[in-house]
Structures are given as structure tokens and as C-alpha cells.
Structure 1
Amino acid sequence: MDEDRTGQDSRPPRTQKRPRKVSPRYLENAALHYLKRYASTVSQLRRVLVRRVDRSVKEHGGDRAEALGWIDALVQKLMRNGLINDDAYAGMKAQSLRASGRSSRVIMQKLRLKGVDAELVQRKLALATAEVSDEAAARIWARKKRLGPFRRDPTTREENRQRDLAALARAGFPFGIAKKVIDGALD
């Protein structure tokens, strides 16, 4: 960092880059670049592209409705070509979140926030739960956060019991499962 003797940053403040004027070609390139970097749902990609359109219309003017039509056509094209697939995204995300110890509630919420259909979320969550149960996910989470039987100092386990139960409850696990994990043995 460039600092002068007073400790202040001597660089000029960054200016916001001017958005480019949108066109069907520009939107397609932006979408492909985004999809190269991130796994995405139809809804998430649409939000990204609409933000670009809104910035461009604000800066350059133009017909927002026409640009939104370009986005709809582009999304349909990307779906036909298999570049965005909510079904595959939901399955991958549900399994990875479950394997990392996330509760059904958290997985459902994350997928719904990404714009995945509720029925699809239920199906993919059922498949992920068949592989890793709620109790197994709670044990994974407790191990990662060093709760209950996974505490470094086992002598503090009883005095932190309520805190550990609350941590599992905040992570979205039902009380019965949280109690079973926190009061359970290390293995």
C-alpha cells in the first residue's frame, strides 16, 4: 500500500468503472464468463444479467424491456445447451452441504435463496438425506465446531452443554438430534 508519512493512503480514490452498453452479444459473453467461474441456477444468472442491464440503462439509456427479452432468450438457449441446469445444481449443492454437516433446514433455505423450485429442493434434499442422515450431519457439524464430545478439554463438556445445544439449534438441527449428539459418546 502506498502510504505517506502520516500513514494516509496517498493513492487517488478508485472510480467506478463505467458499464458497457448492453447488447445480445455482450449479455451472452457476460453469462458465459459468469458460468465459467460459478455454478449457478437460472434465477441467479438472471439476477446477475438484470443487474448489468440496469446499470447500463442508467448510464447509457435504452429500452430495459428489450434487454430483458434478450435475457429471457439467452437463458432459454443456455438451458437448451445444458449450461445451466437447476436440477443438477440442486443435487450437487444439497449433497455437498449435507456432507459438510449442514441441517436440512439450512440446505433448504440456501437452495430456495438461489431460486431453486421448492419441489426440486425437497427431492434433492431427500436424496442427500438418504446418503447422510440428520444425525450424522449433526455429528459432522459438532466435530467441526468442537461441540459436546468433540471438545478439546472434555472436563468443560458439562458446563458448556447448554451453549453446545444452542449452537446446534442455530445450525438448524432439531432439539432431539442435538441432545443425542451433545450427550453422546465420541465415536
Structure 2
Amino acid sequence: MAFGGGCSDRGRPERRAPRKITAYDLQRAAMHYLERYAAPAAQLRRVLARKVALSCRHHEQDPAIFEPMLDEVVARCVSSGLVDDQRFAQARAATLKRKGRSSRAVEASLSAKGVPRELAREASAGSEEDELAAARKAARRKRLGPWSRGDRAASRQKDLAALARAGFNMTIARAVIDGAGDEAMQD
């Protein structure tokens, strides 16, 4: 007796065929996505466009005919306040800075999510003290400089390079790596 019931020949369950996309389905998909994730308008549009492309590929339709529908759904979400690029950028930037990301890395991350470049630059901007605190967090997390277990002098260049790759300028990186142990360990 075969117990295949709905499984492909590789043992994975078969996927259901995607439904034909309607405006109602797109709106529901947008609401469902926004219930789970905060997202800028560009990201929401990309998610919905993937859903449209999947359906169109299966039903042999042209995805271009759904562009106005996509624009309308995203515009409705923006006008209702469910999607706010500035609020998203500020919240995401604050989270990334708390994790020890540099301003450059924060700006790049926001841009990759679809936040307009000027808004990303504005949200990621911070003082030199903020950047120094973020570099210390990054160094502590990666066990660099005063937080390393090995020979600090031997690994100095590698530690500086690691902070530079993380987006910190060399002045900040040197201050953290060469910083006095007492000051750095207070954080």
C-alpha cells in the first residue's frame, strides 16, 4: 500500500498551484505581510511583485498588466499609514546602531531594503560619540582589541581591518583597538 498522498517523487509535499491574482488577493497579501514585518514601500512592492510573478508564470499571464494594481495597493498602504519609510528607517537604524553597526553599514542596509538614499543617510547619521560606542560594541562582540584573548600586538592589524570592513573609519578603529583597557572595559 502506497502512502504517497500528495508527495512528489523526492518525498517533499507538492505545492499547490498559485491562485490567479486579484486586487483583493494583493491587498490581503499586503496586510498579511505587514502584520508580520515592518517594511518600506519598495520592499512591500517587491514582495507583492514576486507573488504576482509566481501566479503569472503558472497561469501564463503577463505580469505587466498587474503593475497599476501593485501601485494602487502600495499607495493605499502608504496613505493609510501602514507603510511609512521614514518611521521604518529611524526604527531600523536605531536597532542596527544598538547592535554595533557603523553609520555606513546602517545606510547600506537601509538602502538595500528600499529606503530612499537621502532618507537612509538622514536616519543613519549620528555623532562621533555614537559611532565610537557602536565600534566598541562591534569590537566586543567580535573579541577585538581590548576584548581579544590572544596577543593584542600581533593581531592589531587584523583587528583594525575587521573594524574597517565593518564600515568604521580608521580614526574610530584605532581609538577602539588602541584604547586604554580600563575605558574600553567600562562599556
- TM-score (normalised: structure 2): 0.86
Q: How does 1:1-187 map to 2 (within 5 A)?
A: 12-126=11-125, 129-130=126-127, 133-151=130-148, 153=149, 156-186=151-181, 187=183
- Distance apart, 1:134 and its partner CA: 1.3
Match of 2:4 in 1: none
TM-score (norm 1): 0.86
Amino acid of the structure 2 residue aligned with 1:86:
D
Moved more, 94-103 or 55-64: 55-64
CA contact (8 A) 2:103 2:131 kept: yes
Contact 2:104–2:124 (8 Å) recurs in 1: no
Q: Give 1:13 deviation, angstroms.
A: 3.2
Contact in 2 for aligned 1:168/1:178 (Cα 8 Å): yes
Structure 1 letter corresponding to 2:21:
V
Q: Quick check: 1:99–1:132 contact (8 Å CA) kept in 2?
A: no
RMSD, aligned α-carbons: 1.8
Tell me, in whole angstroms, the C-alpha distance in 2 between the residues paired with 1:80 and 1:131: 36
Q: Give ranges in structure 1 of 5+ residues lacking alignment.
A: 1-9
Q: Quick one: distance in 2 between partners of 1:58 and 1:125?
A: 39
Structure 2: state its 5+ residue gaps.
1-8
Give the Cα separation in 2 of the matches to 1:168 and 1:65.
44
Name the % identity: 44
Letter in 2 for 1:174: N
CA contact (8 A) 1:40 1:84 kept: yes
Instruction: Give distance in 2, aligned partners of 1:97 and 1:75.
Output: 26
